[in-house]
Amino acid sequence: MEKEKSRKINLLTIVLLMLLTFASSCIEIHVSLFVNGDGSGKGKMTYVIAKGIYQAPDEERLAINEDKLAEQLSKREGVKVIRTGSSYKDENMIKVWGEFEFKDVSKLSDGYLKYIFTKLPDNKRELRINYRITGELHRRELFKSMFKGLVSTAEIEVDGKIISTNGKKISDRKVRWEIPAEEVVGKEITEDMIVIFEPKGKGLIQRIRERLKL
């Protein structure tokens, strides 16, 4: 009886340690996009992770490295990976990043971020990024202190002029959102990041090329 009880306690301890390791592994995510009036563009995605996760064996399915990020990005329709890389943020944390081009920003959607690109009247465009935070880990107050001071970001630059947004406007072309991990952990959240912009007018040479289909 005592042995069985001790075994259960040890098992719970191991599971808890595994959860703590996983929860602290992927610390921040930073997405930066440049979006044209037709929904095409280029971007960069950066993960800030623990060194142990960067070096984790593939069979554990926890690794985040240049190859895994390139594989993740290239699975999305119309996305071309340009380059990937990594660098130390400090002795324990590593930044893993990937630069890419896309034909349609809405195809960047995944299980957590949904990109919706809409052509509005009067030659305006709306980009709406819906993000969801769900799952058992995010309902545990135990993890809240672990995420203190950590902030993920999304930054959008448009080929034109921003008309309105619910983010922090950096310039007439660029907007930024910050998501402090401490505020969202322990909650179920669904939010929209919205930017409405007017694309830059086409130049004479571009109009001639389109007419001639060059």
Q: Dig out the tokens for 95 from the structure.
A: 């930044």
Confidence class for position 99, pLDDT limits 50, 70, 90: very high
pLDDT top residue among 126 and 25: 126
10-14, 63-67, 86-90, 161-165: which has the highest mean pLDDT? 161-165
For residues 94-119, give the mean pLDDT: 93
- How much is the average pLDDT of 94-106? 95
Residue ranges covered by each domain of the chain:
2-212
Q: How many CB atoms lie within 10 A of CB 56?
A: 19
pLDDT band at 1 (very low <50, low <70, confident <90, very high): low
**Average of per-residue pLDDT across 65-75:** 89
Q: Are strands 189-199 and 160-165 parallel, antiparallel or unpaired?
A: antiparallel
Q: How far apart are CA 109 and CA 115, in angstroms?
A: 5
Q: What is the mean pLDDT of residues 11-40?
A: 65
